[in-house]
Amino acid sequence: MGRASVGFRIVALSCLIGAQAWAEEGPIAKALQGALGGDAAKPAPAAEAPAPAPTSRQAIESRRADVDARVKDLRAEIAAAPTGGPPAATQRRAAEILDHIALTLGQSLAALDQIDEHRRRKAEPAAANGAGESPSFLVLERMRDELDGRAQGAAIARDGVAAAQAALDRAKSRFEDRERARRKAREDFETAADPAAKGAAQEALRIARLESEAADEERILRELELRGRQLDQQSYDQRTATLKAQVAQAAAGAVFTRQDLDQQLAAVDKREFDLQRNLNSAKLDLDAAERRFGDAQRRLDRAPEATPALVEEVAALRLARDVTQRRIELLGQELQRLSVVKSYWDRRFRVFSKRATGTELRAWERDVAEEIDALTRASRLHEARLGELRGELANLDARRAEAGDPKLRNWIDRHKAEVQGLVGLLGANARDLDSTRRLATKLQGEIRDQIAAKPVLDRVRDVLDRARELGRYELVVIDDHPITAGKTVVALVLLTLGVRFSRRLSRLLARHVYPRIGASEGTAVALETLTFYAFIATSALAALNLVHIPLTIFTFLGGALAIGVGFGSQNLLNNFISGLILLTEQPIRVGDMVEVDGTFGRIERVGARSTQVRTFTSVDILVPNSAFLEKNVVNWTLTDDRVRVFVSVGVAYGSPTREVAKLLRKAADDHGKILKVPEPIVVFRDFGDSALIFEIHFWIRMRRPMDARTVESDMRFQIDNLFRDAGVTIAFPQRDVHFHPTRPLDVRVIAPGAEAAVPEDKPRLP
């Protein structure tokens, strides 16, 4: 077919499209087929039965057959058309899109096959697992392993559904984009004016329609894939639920016999024997690898020039030695884990048969949790190391491709083989780690189920056992004597009870015993405090002895205590020791009237750190004990409560002094609170500026802070009454003012409201 024929067809199709305005939205294949094959004007078929759904097998197979035919015709047109022109390029692009559509349709048919398979599997009845009424624990173990696999498969299926949904969303978005591009291309074609622009727009419209069709087929494919994933998930969920019910039923009647345990332990022993044999063989291989590496290293050292092949040989042999060492290390680790596996199986047997105590269960739970963490960390390290080795393998492949020497390539292959062997070792060890971790996880779950299933009484016992276990926790060890948490708590409880008992007993002695033996109030209080401290010390020593805490603990703590006392407790210790001295020597006692540092009051209590003093205004002041030893203290009632006070009074000059003295003595004799012995004394003390000063001194018993002031006030009232009756005048201050001016005073009488001028040379009176 010539170029003129192709151009004629394009122009003819442009006219046809312009006449029909491209109103129909039928399949793109027909439009392209009409454009390229000349049959676009075929009449539409007669009305038939409803077309099948686009996602049905019949519809997909029909579209695929149609696409295959279109591809065949289009390739024939491409083969007949001259190359290089725009129409040929458009045809090639159209062929590529049609090939992609055909591939997508094939994938859709495969997705339908998967959907049918999922439906068939979903409809199949669940297979029996061989669990009878009382299945063996090993059968239950296999069922649980299968359930774990099903659960992992269900999780993968859920992830697949999420991924398929995301892919469908992206396909829908791409289809919408292609549809917008198709509508835009159609609009450009309809609005094109000149024939050249209309022809280019026509080609763009063809491609846009094909791309929209391809996007639509991809959307259908993603819908089918999502449907298949959903059926797969439903199948997994259904089978997992069925198997879970079977496992629960089997677990209710499963029996873990000693024979089952022996069977598992025998399998572990066999594995241990094989590993030990492999370990011995690896040790022999290590000796040979050491010799080969040593020989190669010596050849490299003696060689005048290090060739790449010799260097690679040394590196390969060194790696062979390292791999053998790593193999020995991994075998040793696996042997150690086998002992742990044995203990896990033994514990599972005891847990399943309910022979483990609550304390053992909790201890095992802690151990298993720690072991799971350790196994998880080891698995992560293995994964990281495997990643490094895979990178090294890629590097070796690149080096081998660049190597030209056959001998060098041979040693690179040896090097690569050793790395692959190490990868295999790490992979096998990783699988063993995973197997041990899964066994530990099973034991952990069984322990937790056993703890949760215990009755209330057993849980109470477990709590008590846990408390006893916590009480045995060693806080510190002194002279090979453990100081446990339980001993510390018991000692604190005993010490608290001892403090309460000491306080009650010391108060009882102070109230009922000390007064009967003649102790005063202050002495009784001092004895009460000292007795209290003595009882506390005795209680502390008894508590330490009862819980077997050695007294050497104070030696152990002596250094820290000395530092604390030296830097932070000087004042506290000073006041405490001062309190002991006050209680022992009793320079002040409860009830004494004291004056310290300008404060006058009554002693209410002598404590370990401070002394409580109540002033005349009923204000309680806490005075540090050291103040009573370091400062001048006036104790008005140290030896007894008799205090000498005095009242002074001044009488006018000319008063009868003897009569005044008699009146003062009479006032003292008439007062009931003034002691007769010693007798009151009247003293004519001084000739004052305005009065004759008399004083009367007398003794009283001062039991309360206001006693002295009350008696003094009474005496002043009595003296005033007696002096009034006797006509004696109590003097008051008098002053004589003598005025000696240097010049005569100017005295004038001024009328009210008038103001006279005062000469400047005359003084103004104030």
- CA-to-CA distance for 465 and 459, rounded, in angstroms? 10
- CA-to-CA distance for 257 and 751, rounded, in angstroms? 139
674, 680 Cβ separation under 8 angstroms:
yes
- pLDDT at 681 (0 to 100): 92
Rg of the chain taking only CA atoms, in angstroms: 57
Lowest mean pLDDT among 226-235, 361-370, 577-586, 611-620: 577-586
Residue type, 306: A
Tokens 């003129």: give the residue: 4
- pLDDT at 510 (0 to 100): 76
Handedness of CA 570, 575, 579, 585 (dihedral sign): positive
688, HSE (Cβ side, Cα atoms, 13 Å):
20
Q: What is the pLDDT of residues 212-245, one digit of tens each?
A: 999 999 999 999 999 989 988 888 888 888 888 8
Q: What is the pLDDT of residues 457-510, one digit of tens each?
A: 766 766 777 777 777 777 766 666 677 777 778 878 888 888 888 888 888 887
Lowest mean pLDDT among 79-88, 136-145, 611-620: 79-88
Alpha carbon 288 to its chain centroid, in Å, reads 53
Query: Quick one: 399 exposed, middle or buried, by C-beta within 10 A (0-12, 13-18, 19+)?
Result: middle
- pLDDT at 134 (0 to 100): 66
Mean pLDDT, rounded, for 612-619: 81
- pLDDT at 178 (0 to 100): 92
Q: Does pLDDT of 12 surpass 60?
A: no
Sequence-separated (6 or more) residues with CB below 8 Å from residue 31 = 40, 206, 209
Q: Does pLDDT of 173 surpass 60?
A: yes
CATH of domain 642-726: 3.30.70.100
The two beta strands, 593-596 and 474-478, are: unpaired
- pLDDT at 373 (0 to 100): 92
Mean pLDDT, rounded, for 262-290: 88
Q: Does pLDDT of 556 surpass 60?
A: no
pLDDT band, residue 662 (cuts 50/70/90)? very high
Task: Provide long-range contacts, Cβ within 8 A and 24+ apart, for 300-307.
Answer: none
Handedness of CA 215, 221, 224, 230 (dihedral sign): negative
Sequence-separated (6 or more) residues with CB below 8 Å from residue 652 = 691, 692, 728, 729, 730, 731
268, 345 Cβ separation under 8 angstroms:
yes
Q: Does pLDDT of 174 surpass 90?
A: yes
600, HSE (Cβ side, Cα atoms, 13 Å):
9
What are the two backbone dihedrals, phi and then psi, of residue 133, each rounded to the nearest 5 degrees?
Answer: -70, -40
**Domain residue ranges in the chain:** 3-40+54-251, 256-468, 485-635, 642-726
Which of 430, 433, 424, 331 lies closest to 382 in space, CA to CA?
430
- CA-to-CA distance for 731 and 395, rounded, in angstroms? 125
For 651-719, give the DSSP string. Answer: E-TTS-HHHHHHHHHHHHHH-TTB-SSSPPEEEEEEE-SSSEEEEEEEEEE--STTHHHHHHHHHHHHH
Which of 538, 542, 526, 529 lies closest to 503 in space, CA to CA?
529
486, 471 Cβ separation under 8 angstroms:
yes
Which of 412, 387, 226 lies closest to 314 in space, CA to CA?
412
289-306 per-residue burial string, b: 16 or more CB within 10 A, e: under 16 = beebbeebeeeeeeeeee
Sequence-separated (6 or more) residues with CB below 8 Å from residue 154 = 233, 236, 237, 240
Q: What is the pLDDT of residues 146-156, one digit of tens each?
A: 888 888 888 88
Of the ranges 52-61, 252-261, 434-443, the best mean pLDDT one: 434-443
Report residue 335 as tokens: 């042997």
Q: Does pLDDT of 39 surpass 50?
A: no
What are the two backbone dihedrals, phi and then psi, of residue 328, each rounded to the nearest 5 degrees?
Answer: -60, -40
Residue type, 463: V
Residue type, 579: G
Neighbours of 368 (CB within 10 A): 23
- pLDDT at 683 (0 to 100): 93
- pLDDT at 721 (0 to 100): 92
Report the first-to-last Cα separation within the chain, whole angstroms: 147
Q: Is 360 helix (H, G, I), strand (E, B) or coil?
A: helix
Q: What is the pLDDT of residues 379-406, one digit of tens each?
A: 888 888 888 888 888 887 887 787 777 7
Q: Does pLDDT of 133 surpass 60?
A: no
- pLDDT at 233 (0 to 100): 86
Tokens 């074609």: give the residue: 189
